Amino acid sequence: MTATQPFSSAEATAWARLVAVSELLPTMLDAQLQRDVELTHFEYLVLSVLASSPDRTSRMTRLASQTNATLPRLSHVARRLEEKGLLARFPCPQDKRATNARITDEGLAVLDRAAPGHVATVRSNVLDALAPGELDQLAAITASILSKLDPEGRLSATQCDAAKDRPEASARP
């Protein structure tokens, strides 16, 4: 009723589509990984971050920020992954408060089994859709948005520039 017309037509379009993508993309990723290897996309992310971490190990807090998650969320997932034998937790010697998480050999195996299908899904649903030039635009736009969503730059993707520094790293997707 109030006459305020908050978004311009162009803004409304872009916003509606971004919302749709944020809704559909996670669902699709979860569905594919669940179907193929009984893993959540978030679990996959956790494992893949660990796989490319020094000594296959990361502290819970750091792992949480690397995966854009809250600590409680990660803690629950770590327990489940541990029960499945894909991950091991052990106390950090230096700081007895802290917990280290390490991916097991079995975890690596599952990851290797999962990777091809996951990569194919990402390609066919996202990367292949982009016209030349749109990849860099997407990187720039998401960086802008993340700088607002995560001002402290605590979370992984914002630091993702760091990943660019080591292009030879055995980066799992």
Partner DNA sequence: CCGCATTAGTTGTCATGACAACTAAGTCGT
Partner DNA sequence: ACGACTTAGTTGTCATGACAACTAATGCGG
Nearer to a second copy, 61 or 68 (CB): 68
Shortest approach of DNA to residue 62 CB, angstroms? 7
Maximum alpha-carbon separation in the chain: 62
Angle between helix 41-51 and helix 9-37 axes, rounded to 10 deg? 80
From residue 29 to residue 48, the character string flagging contacts with DNA as x (rule: CB under 7 A) and all else as - is --x--x-----x-x------
Cα-flanking dihedrals φ and ψ of residue 92, to 5°?
A: -80, 125
Question: Considering beta carbons, is residue 91 or 153 the nearer one to a second copy?
Answer: 153
Query: From a second copy, DNA, none, which one binds at residue 22 (CB under 5 to 8 Å depending on kind)?
Result: a second copy
Cβ-contact 53, 14 below 8 angstroms: no
Under the binding rule (CB under 8 A), the answer on residue 12 touching a second copy is yes
Beta-carbon contacts of residue 105 (< 8 Å; ≥ 6 apart): none
Which H helix or E strand runs over 89?
strand 87-91
Candidate list 53, 68, 75, 99; residue touching a second copy; CB under 8 A = 68
Of positions 7, 18, 27, 137, contacts DNA by CB under 7 A: 27
Out of 92, 127, 135, 138, point to the residue binding DNA (CB under 7 A): 92
Provide φ and ψ at 68, rounded to 5°.
60, 35
Binder of a second copy out of 19, 31, 92, 98 (CB under 8 A) = 19
The tokens describing 11, both together, are 């803004």
Residue 77 binds which entry of DNA, a second copy, none, with Cβ cut-offs from 5 to 8 Å by kind? DNA
In 3D, which of 110, 72, 103 has the Cα closest to residue 87? 103
The single residue among 70, 124, 144, 147 that binds DNA, judged by CB under 7 A, is 70
Alpha-carbon distance 30 to 36, whole Å? 10
Site residues, DNA (CB under 7 A): 27, 31, 34, 40, 42, 59-61, 64, 69-80, 89, 92, 95-100
